[in-house]
A = this chain, B = another copy of it.
Amino acid sequence: MATGRTHRPATRSRGIPEATVARLPLYLRALTALSERSVPTVSSEELAAAAGVNSAKLRKDFSYLGSYGTRGVGYDVEYLVYQISRELGLTQDWPVVIVGIGNLGAALANYGGFASRGFRVAALIDADPAMAGKPVAGIPVQHTDDLEKIIKNNGVSIGVIATPAGAAQQVCDRLVAAGVTSILNFAPTVLSVPDGVDVRKVDLSIELQILAFHEQRKAGEETAVGDGALPAATGRGVAAGDSADQGPDGDVPAVMPA
């Protein structure tokens, strides 16, 4: 396939960079914590540290939303919480369905942070007739046969797929046909969806493989750098934003048997 669609209208005015959008939830979380401690204002430096990002990046991110800060002072916590929430669309209610109530699906259903911010588990759906009616996290599981009806009756536009890989695409197709336009996929599969439907995936094994890659490099460098031992104690640190490896220089030996 690969129909080279890619039609980007043009640089849209309200266009907030995708990278910025991905960080807004992080800022929101940090701000919420400050709000709970009744902190009135924060500087970009402080908030950036709490969110684990660079302060210049944070300021630029906020500049896409508008000028919500006060020079010489910082940002008003409550005001920012509201602005970011609004920008992310969290001031409205988002009914969500979880399809596939196995170990993972059940864990997701039980996940508290779910409801906390605008999201509400509207229904749990599973293909196993034996599960039908059983309550998970206080919500009765419904059978896949009623998927379309459930989506429509609840006005669901966001679906979470936690089924085995083999069933994911089929479930995805039905969700989309029923009106879902955003999907969070936990199944280890690449989903095909029509234009206009967003898919984000969460994949444990991919994350582990990326870590293994860096881990392997570290092991190789150990000797290269000639570092002694010292398993690193509690040093300070920083965070974790993306796993850019704090690259010790030198470079990889690369074992290579071609």
Bin chain A's interface residue count.
35 or more
| Pair B12/A252 contact, Cβ less than 8 Å | yes
| Pair B213/A89 contact, Cβ less than 8 Å | yes
| Pair B245/A12 contact, Cβ less than 8 Å | no
| Pair A196/B117 contact, Cβ less than 8 Å | no
Contact of A204 among B111, B173, B210, B232 (CB under 8 A): B111
| Pair B231/A179 contact, Cβ less than 8 Å | yes
8 A Cβ contacts from A229-258 to B: 231-255, 257-258
Instruction: Write out the residue numbers on chain B whose beta carbons fall within 8 Å of the beta carbon of A1.
Output: 49, 238-242, 244, 246
Copies of this chain assembled into the complex: 2
Among A69-77, A123-131, A138-146, A181-189, which stretch is in contact with chain B?
A181-189
8 A Cβ contacts from A89-132 to B: 89-90, 92, 94, 96, 102-104, 106-108, 110-114, 116-119
If the complex has contacts A114-B204, A190-B50, are A2 and B232 also in contact, measured as CB distance less than 8 A? no
Closest to A202 in B: B255
Most buried by B among A181, A198, A244: A198
Within 8 Å of chain B (Cβ to Cβ): is A212?
Answer: yes
Separation in Å of the A235 CB from the closest CB of chain B?
3
